[in-house]
Amino acid sequence: MKKRALCMLMAGLMCVSLAGCGSSGNGGETENAGEAQSEAAGAQGEKEASGEDAVRVCIVYTGNLGDKSYNDSCNMGAQRAVEDFGIELKSLEGTTAQEWEANLVAACEEGYDLIIGASSNIADYVTKHAPDYPDTKFAVIDTTVDLPNVESISFAQNQGSFLAGAAAAMFTQKTDIEGVNEEHIIGWVGGMDIPVLHDFYTGYEQGAKYIDPDITILQAFAGTWTDPLKGKELTLAQYEQGADIVMNVASGTGPGVLEAAKEAGKYAIGVDLNQDADQPGHILTSMVKRVDNACYLVIQSVVEGTFEGGTTQYLSLSEGGVSLTDFSVMKEALGDQFPQDIVDKCEELEEQIISGEIVVENYEGFGPQQ
């Protein structure tokens, strides 16, 4: 009881500062979250008329919506669930560890049917607080929490990144394309230095060196998910060091990576959502991670009564959990100069990964057995 009282006190102390996490009765929610609640309210009214209660879902983000990447992908899945199932949805945003924990505690105290921790940054707080709310269902995306009321969903980002690294290594050899130099150097810029991003990098490095064992790969972390200027600065620095293509793995920091590609007349690879058209002609492809499907499926499991706590879903290339985009935006930009051999080789590598002919390494703690 003392621990639960402390949780309630924490939630109360933080309520003034959490500008992005207003309750359903105030205007503190983002526009997207507000739209979701409006839609949910209509569906809720229909359910109440039929004597049913809408499933109440809260998503706790470790960053902000509007990143055109990971968080927006999660929100897309949630919005789809609002439309399909008439759930009541709240989105709580935060940019500091203190806010993440306080948002989670606030959601727990409000009695939601399902609370989704949208990234691995929140795993420790779910581990800490979920046991105090045994009747609440929790889900974590991009990580694993082994508790009976928590369902975990993780991805084979190493496999998708292998393909991205292979594509980058082939592209940096295409010196007939404007902006590609003679040096075989590629880059990679991440957001926060956390284990899941090392799983991205492990695959990226392996894929690049599968194509060119002698390639040089530059790596940097911004230390934040929400600073596009920092992402741009780090990416421009890598271009100055000889890279001509850089992979973005930085959520809300990532738009700066893509802007740097355009500014420098260089190239980038997008992440999580299809970012190919964000800077047309400068984004070779994007490594899409179907966070939207993960969010939607776990909500569906609660609605349909099939939620399984204490389990982990692992979404790989074979399940469509990760993939490259179809390169169509770059094809249009480059016209006859577009290197079709890169697409053909990536398709071949994807088949070899799915068949098991190529085994992509994981960072420690990741993979289907974790």
- pLDDT tens per residue, range 218-256: 999 999 999 999 999 999 999 999 999 999 999 999 999
State CA 219 to chain mean position distance. 19
Task: With respect to residue 260, please indicate whether it lies within any of the assigned structural domains.
Answer: yes
Q: What's the pLDDT at 358?
A: 98
Kindly report the backbone phi and psi dihedral angles of residue 290, in degrees, each rounded to the nearest multiple of 5, phi listed first. -80, 65
3-state secondary structure of 270: strand
- Assigned token pair, 29: 């929610």
pLDDT above 80: residue 179: yes
Q: Are residues 166 and 283 in the same domain?
A: yes
In this prediction, residues 164-189 reach a mean pLDDT of 98
Task: With respect to residue 365, please indicate whether it lies within any of the assigned structural domains.
Answer: no
Confidence class of residue 370 from pLDDT cuts 50, 70 and 90? very low
Task: With respect to residue 36, please indicate whether it lies within any of the assigned structural domains.
Answer: yes
pLDDT above 70: residue 209: yes
Q: Are residues 285 and 236 in the same domain?
A: yes
Confidence class of residue 369 from pLDDT cuts 50, 70 and 90? low
| Residue 52's CATH number | 3.40.50.2300
Q: Are residues 167 and 246 in the same domain?
A: yes
Confidence class of residue 44 from pLDDT cuts 50, 70 and 90? very low
Q: Are residues 199 and 328 in the same domain?
A: yes
Task: With respect to residue 60, please indicate whether it lies within any of the assigned structural domains.
Answer: yes
Q: What's the pLDDT at 13?
A: 40
Query: Which residue, 236, 233, 213, is CA-closest to 223?
Result: 233
pLDDT above 90: residue 359: yes
Confidence class of residue 52 from pLDDT cuts 50, 70 and 90? low
- Assigned token pair, 176: 């007939």
Q: What's the pLDDT at 368?
A: 84
Q: What's the pLDDT at 42?
A: 43
pLDDT above 60: residue 36: no
Poorest-confidence range of 30-34, 98-102, 184-188, 216-220?
Answer: 30-34
Confidence class of residue 314 from pLDDT cuts 50, 70 and 90? very high
Q: Are residues 335 and 190 in the same domain?
A: yes
Q: Are residues 327 and 307 in the same domain?
A: no
Neighbours of 337 (CB within 10 A): 12
Q: Are residues 189 and 333 in the same domain?
A: yes
Please give the order of strands across the beta sheet that includes 311-315. Answer: 88-92, 56-60, 114-117, 137-141, 150-155, 311-315
Q: What's the pLDDT at 57?
A: 98
Q: What's the pLDDT at 35?
A: 41
pLDDT above 50: residue 167: yes
In this prediction, residues 323-327 reach a mean pLDDT of 97
The Cα–Cα gap between 76 and 345 comes to: 31
Q: What's the pLDDT at 334?
A: 98
Q: What's the pLDDT at 365?
A: 87
Query: Which residue, 121, 112, 159, 161, is CA-closest to 140?
Result: 121
> In the chain, pLDDT over 70 holds for what percent of residues?
85
State CA 98 to chain mean position distance. 21
Kind plus residue range of the DSSP H or E element containing 182: none
Confidence class of residue 53 from pLDDT cuts 50, 70 and 90? confident
Q: Are 361 and 206 in contact (CB under 8 A)?
A: yes
> In the chain, pLDDT over 90 holds for what percent of residues?
84
The Cα–Cα gap between 296 and 77 comes to: 5
Confidence class of residue 316 from pLDDT cuts 50, 70 and 90? very high
End-to-end CA distance of the chain: 33
Task: With respect to residue 369, please indicate whether it lies within any of the assigned structural domains.
Answer: no
* More confident site: 2 or 343: 343
Task: With respect to residue 93, please indicate whether it lies within any of the assigned structural domains.
Answer: yes
3-state secondary structure of 91: strand
Neighbours of 364 (CB within 10 A): 10
Range of the domain at 8: 2-155+292-315
pLDDT above 70: residue 49: no
In this prediction, residues 280-289 reach a mean pLDDT of 98
How confident is the prediction for the chain on average, in pLDDT? Answer: 89
Q: Are residues 309 and 187 in the same domain?
A: no
pLDDT above 80: residue 7: no
Number of domains in the chain: 2
Q: What's the pLDDT at 81?
A: 98
Q: Are residues 336 and 246 in the same domain?
A: yes
Q: Are residues 194 and 328 in the same domain?
A: yes
Task: With respect to residue 368, please indicate whether it lies within any of the assigned structural domains.
Answer: no
Please give the order of strands across the beta sheet that includes 322-324. Answer: 216-221, 185-190, 245-249, 267-272, 283-289, 322-324
Neighbours of 53 (CB within 10 A): 10
Kindly report the backbone phi and psi dihedral angles of residue 21, in degrees, each rounded to the nearest multiple of 5, phi listed first. -135, 40
Q: Which ranges constitute the DSSP H helices of the chain?
A: 2-14, 31-49, 70-85, 97-109, 123-129, 157-171, 195-211, 228-240, 254-264, 291-303, 328-334, 340-355
Task: With respect to residue 218, please indicate whether it lies within any of the assigned structural domains.
Answer: yes
Q: Are residues 240 and 309 in the same domain?
A: no
Query: Which residue, 11, 129, 82, is CA-closest to 292?
Result: 82
Confidence class of residue 279 from pLDDT cuts 50, 70 and 90? very high
Q: Are residues 266 and 226 in the same domain?
A: yes
Confidence class of residue 116 from pLDDT cuts 50, 70 and 90? very high
Q: What's the pLDDT at 342?
A: 98
Q: What's the pLDDT at 38?
A: 39
The Cα–Cα gap between 53 and 159 comes to: 41
In this prediction, residues 337-355 reach a mean pLDDT of 98
In this prediction, residues 83-103 reach a mean pLDDT of 97
Contacts of 358 (CB under 8 A, 6+ apart): 162, 210, 349, 352
